[in-house]
Amino acid sequence: MASRPTIYVLNGPNLNLLGLREPEIYGSDTLDDIAGRLEDRGRELGFAIDLRQSNHEGHLIDWLHEAEAEGARAVILNAGGFTHTSVALHDAIKAVAVPVIEVHLSNPQARESFRHTSLVARAAKGSICGFGALGYELALDAAARL
């Protein structure tokens, strides 16, 4: 049986604390909860999901390169705080042909002013923000249609 095409779901710093960290902003779903729903939806759409989290910028960059090398269908990226600061992550997204969809649980535009600039958005195919954990599923549906 042929393997299913893969969609990478990459998560940056502090997202390992979902469900515990500021639930009034980020919700009560854990990253494992989100992963389970994405794997279920991915199967329905005919895709494998490769979900990863790291608090280290270089890991996210390496995984973007890997997604490209492995022929991933798309990358869903919640870069966390690196969204607003990482020129290196921006450059890595620009360096790969695999489409990247930016996701944020909250709406950065409705928060502190330092969150209003997204270096990731400037390189990504598109962005989904403010829908909580549902944003990942919306991004998966978008990735499946690319």
Is 8 among the catalytic positions?
A: no
Q: Which residues pair with 30 in a beta bridge?
A: none
**Catalytic option among 26, 65, 90, 116:** 26
Compute the distance between CA of residue 10 and CA of residue 143 in angstroms, rounded to an integer: 14
**Catalytic option among 8, 90, 104, 136:** 104
Compute the distance between CA of residue 54 and CA of residue 25 in angstroms, rounded to an integer: 20
Q: Which residues pair with 7 in a beta bridge?
A: 49, 74
Is 136 among the catalytic positions?
A: no
Q: Where are the beta strands (DSSP E) in 31-116?
A: 48-53, 74-78, 100-104
Active site residues: 26, 104
